[in-house]
């Protein structure tokens, strides 16, 4: 029986790894470059061109904008991208290698933490959760793990912070700080980080609180260090008045989310999150409820087995991981669900989903083990049935995700390059510096792929700049690819 379980485990593990490889490769070389990726790519391209840490400012007036607040993907992603691009590699592929490397780090961290929590089966289930999540469901998507965005890198750094926290709290703090500089919204992880520090501190009551406060000053200082260094660089680059303007723009962006959409409700947000899986929403809900029952049941059984003075009998790794994951996930989903000004984009809470839901799935597997060890027949039956639901449900989601990569989309990176080639040749021949996207959307990556700077048609700075559009030109047509057109600026 043991050999059979081992064979089944490795068969499932090999299938899961193959699915991840398929999804990662598809994201790296097949998926089209979309507008947010293109906008982020302008920063490392400008850095290599000697223009500093500067975006094209397409959403900030369409002028070169150092430390652009509208670029919420930060230096933890974009500086390594610039380093890769110095090799002369294709800019899109080179840029995407960094988020893909973070994806591998995320999976490695989940495997390590999952194994500590509940053994190899917990690690396997934890690795299946990110694959079942459909982050490309809504507009403003994460198309795949190689997208040049900061959400997955932030999640990877958060997970590794939890991995190293018991022995190296200072390093955990630094990793959280780097996560914030991968995606600003990683700030929401701080309550989870504080809870984990408290759980791992010795003593009880006020003694534990004092120990936590004594232990946390260095990690929290290192959380702030990367952001402090970036802001010092911004101050030196922008000067006093420019830095004040930068801070005002940053605060305005954080308060508004940078979007202007109709208000949304909590019910809409939760419904969107339930739909954002490669599973029917009702099956997603059933799996979530089953996993929650296992977690609660596991904690209750472990507490009842232990003497009151034995620290409740729950392994420390389970305690701090589970409570940090609950607090972290609640912070992300709660913030997004209650922020009515934020649209129905699962990308917003995705760092919490990628980092914390797999951890909770691993804790659920630990809960299954607790049920199995009770020797109570109904509990064992529930453990077997629930385990099958978790494994088969998440496995089906992963298979659906991997198989979806074989369905051709309306545009791939290859077809995008073919279509853009006439525009790229025209830009190079005429030494064109700027083009304006009209409107913001699929025309933005066309401009970045053409080699020109990216502006937005309604910006004052773009008044006399040619437009890239999908509509027929109302002015002189300078280039016509059949899909995208370069039109002379209106008089």
Which residue numbers in the chain have pLDDT < 50? 308-311
Whole-angstrom distance, CA of residue 118 vs CA of residue 461: 58
3-state secondary structure of 485: strand
Task: Judge contact between 358 and 122, C-beta under 8 A.
Answer: no
Burial class of residue 208 (count of CB atoms within 10 Å of its CB; 0-12, 13-18, 19+)? middle
> Residue 310 has what pLDDT?
44
Please name every residue paired with 455 in a beta bridge, in sequence order, or none if there are none. Answer: 436
**CB-CB contact of 436 with 56 (8 Å):** no
Helix, strand, coil content of the chain in percent (nearest 5): 70, 5, 25
CA distances from 131 to 33, 263, 353, 364, 442 (A): 21, 30, 11, 18, 26
Which position has the token pair 């260095």?
Answer: 218
Query: Are 347 and 154 a contacting pair, CB within 8 Å?
Result: no
Residue whose entry in the numeric block shows the structure tokens 């030196």: 236
Continuous segment of H or E residues that includes residue 480:
strand 477-480
Strand, helix or coil at 130?
A: helix
Assigned token pair, 356? 């914390």
Domain borders along the chain are 72-404, 413-487
Nearest-angstrom CA–CA distance, 288 and 274: 10
Q: Which 3-state string (H, E, C) describes 149-185?
A: CCHHHHHHHHHHHHHHCCCCHHHHHHHHHHHHCCEHH
What tokens appear for 243 in the block?
A: 């830095």
pTM, full prediction? 0.94
């Amino acid at each position: 029986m043991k050999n059979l379980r081992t064979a089944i485990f490795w068969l499932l593990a090999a299938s899961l790894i193959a699915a991840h490889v398929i999804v990662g490769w598809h994201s790296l070389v097949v998926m089209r470059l979309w507008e947010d990726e293109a906008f982020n790519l302008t920063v490392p391209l400008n850095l290599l061109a000697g223009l500093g840490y500067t975006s094209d400012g397409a959403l900030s007036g369409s002028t070169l904008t150092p430390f652009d607040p509208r670029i919420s993907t930060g230096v933890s992603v974009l500086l390594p991208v610039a380093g890769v691009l110095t090799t002369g590699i294709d800019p899109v592929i080179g840029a995407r290698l960094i988020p893909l490397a973070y994806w591998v780090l995320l999976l490695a961290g989940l495997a390590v933490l999952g194994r500590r929590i509940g053994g190899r089966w917990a690690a396997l289930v934890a690795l299946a959760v990110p694959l079942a999540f459909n982050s490309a469901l809504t507009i403003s998507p994460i198309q795949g793990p190689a997208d040049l965005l900061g959400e997955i890198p932030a999640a990877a750094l958060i997970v590794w912070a939890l991995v190293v926290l018991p022995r190296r709290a200072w390093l955990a703090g630094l990793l959280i700080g780097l996560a914030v500089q991968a995606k600003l919204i990683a700030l929401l992880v701080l309550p989870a980080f504080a809870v984990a520090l408290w759980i791992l501190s010795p003593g009880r009551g006020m003694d534990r609180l004092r120990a936590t406060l004594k232990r946390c000053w260095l990690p929290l200082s290192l959380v702030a260090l990367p952001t402090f260094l970036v802001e010092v660089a911004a101050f030196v680059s922008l000067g006093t008045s420019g830095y004040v303007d930068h801070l005002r723009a940053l605060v305005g962006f954080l308060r508004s989310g940078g979007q202007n959409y109709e208000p949304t409700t909590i019910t809409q947000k939760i419904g969107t999150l339930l739909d954002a899986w490669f599973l029917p929403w009702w099956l997603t809900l059933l799996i979530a409820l089953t996993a929650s029952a296992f977690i609660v049941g596991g904690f209750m059984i472990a507490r009842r087995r232990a003497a009151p003075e034995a620290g409740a009998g729950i392994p420390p790794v389970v305690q701090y991981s589970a409570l940090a994951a609950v607090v972290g996930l609640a912070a992300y989903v709660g913030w997004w669900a209650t922020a009515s000004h934020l649209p129905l984009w699962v990308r917003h809470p995705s760092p919490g989903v990628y980092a914390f839901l797999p951890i909770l799935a691993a804790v659920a597997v630990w809960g299954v083990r607790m049920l199995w060890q009770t020797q109570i027949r109904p509990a064992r039956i529930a453990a077997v049935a629930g385990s099958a639901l978790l494994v088969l449900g998440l496995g089906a989601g992963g298979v659906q995700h991997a198989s979806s990569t074989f369905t051709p989309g309306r545009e791939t990176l290859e077809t995008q390059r073919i279509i853009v080639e006439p525009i790229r040749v025209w830009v190079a021949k005429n030494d064109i510096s700027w083009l304006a996207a009209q409107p913001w959307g699929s025309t933005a990556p066309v401009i970045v792929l053409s080699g020109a700077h990216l502006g937005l048609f309604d910006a004052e700075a773009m008044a006399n700049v040619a437009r890239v559009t999908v509509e027929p030109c109302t002015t002189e047509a300078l280039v016509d690819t059949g899909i995208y057109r370069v039109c002379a600026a209106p008089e």
